[in-house]
Amino acid sequence: MSKKTWRIGVAGLGTVGGGLMKFLAVQPDFAPAGGRAVVTGVCARSRSRHRETDISALNWFDDPVALATSADTDIFVELIGGSDGPAKAAVEAALALGKPVVTANKALIAEHGAALALLAEAKGAPLLFEAAVMGGTPAVKMLREAMVGDEVVSVAGILNGTCNYILSEMEASGRSFAEVLAEAQRLGYAEADPTMDIGGFDAAHKIVILSALAFGCAPDYAGAEIEGLDQIELLDIKLAGDLGYRIKLVASAERSDAGVSVRVHPALAPLDHPLAQTSGALNALFIEGRRIGRIFIQGPGAGAGPTAAAVAADIADVMTGATRPVFQRPAVGLPRLTAVDPAHRQGRAYLRLQVRDEAGVIAAVSETLAEERVSIDSFLQKPAHDAEGVPIVLTTHAAPEAMLLNAVRRIAALPSVLQPPRMIRIARV
């Protein structure tokens, strides 16, 4: 299908929407397939708010559903956000009419992607969401298009720039989590309510989408294991560095004979590893295929320019007329993930203990680990600086995670242990 002019309806004129409007106003004929993409209708919370691009000549809609269903909208671009409410209603309305939808809404795709894919494919309407993951860095296209000739084994990386910025700044400045978070909020890197970012939920939405594309299955946000960043202390960052690691919030999806594991959690990466060297607000991702091996991509995960570029790339795909299943396989009969039982999962861990400075403590900890069949890889003891005990840190060899967790629970009950142990996984990289 080709048209000389594609009429674009944009719902949401925030950072990304503003960037897209600015780009299309300057370069409407950007698509390689030819034709022009022209914004004809918009919808946002405030009509009177000052914007860089003049919208006075465009059709204004108070309701995004009305914009999505308007006869003057050929492609509906949803940049509102949120897994439900107006965004979901408008996307469903556009797809029901067979209209192409381009969205940057990670929560919507992660939580309702299977149902939306059914509707889109039943109506023959493209549903594209490159901008939902890693902003302008083409993670979605890599899995959706470049990897179709291979079998993806795993995807893992840093998918939240806010968390990566906080960790990088804590290490560089020696300031606490709370101090750096407050600065990130002042600078606009973190929201006033940062829960989605620091709680790991934003990264979880993204890795759920990538897992669905990687393994040809329905996105299953409810099945993701999520652990945020808010419990990481400056002491952990310093001690991890002493051991040759850097702490990152890692999102991963891995397929094995036991099923698929989709997780977000803090993890230690070796200092010379590309994930450890991804600093500031950058995102990074490893994709591993059985034939191709490992691919690494890195780039900006947010921002007006990069994310608007990803939205524009999806608009260009619609203009070419290319069609493919939303999640690699037809939506009808799209399989569900089989989650891996933690008892069958193995890994290494960093353990930090705050203990009394007395004889026999290390022996008791070692004995407890040995009884759970967890062996120690490295050990570090720091001198005591106050009356609250001394920190000791150890890393383990690979062990079943169930045994690691049970060992941590038992160690916490030892009389010489003053605080709950801190366990951070070591990234499998």
Q: Which residues contact 222 (CB under 8 A, 6 or more apart)?
A: none
Of the residues 141, 206, 248, 382, only one is catalytic, namely 206
Contact between 108 and 115 under an 8 Å Cβ cutoff? The reply is no
Task: Enumerate long-range contacts of 108-111, CB under 8 Å, 24 or more apart.
Answer: 108/78, 108/82, 108/83, 109/205, 109/209, 109/219, 110/83, 110/204, 110/205, 110/206, 110/208, 110/209, 110/219, 110/221, 111/83, 111/205, 111/219, 111/221
Rounded to whole angstroms, the Cα distance separating 197 from 91 reads 24
Q: How many residues does the chain have?
A: 429
Residue 206 annotated among the catalytic residues of the structure:
yes
Structure tokens at 172: 């560089």
Cβ atoms 154, 340 nearer than 8 A = no
DSSP string for 139-192: HHHIIIIITTTS-EEEEEEE--HHHHHHHHHHHHH---HHHHHHHHHHHTSS-S
302 with 161: CB under 8 angstroms? yes
Cβ neighbours for 205, distance < 8 A, ≥ 6 positions apart: 106, 107, 109, 110, 111, 132, 221
Record the tokens describing residue 83, joined without a space. Answer: 């897994």
Would you name the residues annotated as active-site residues? 206
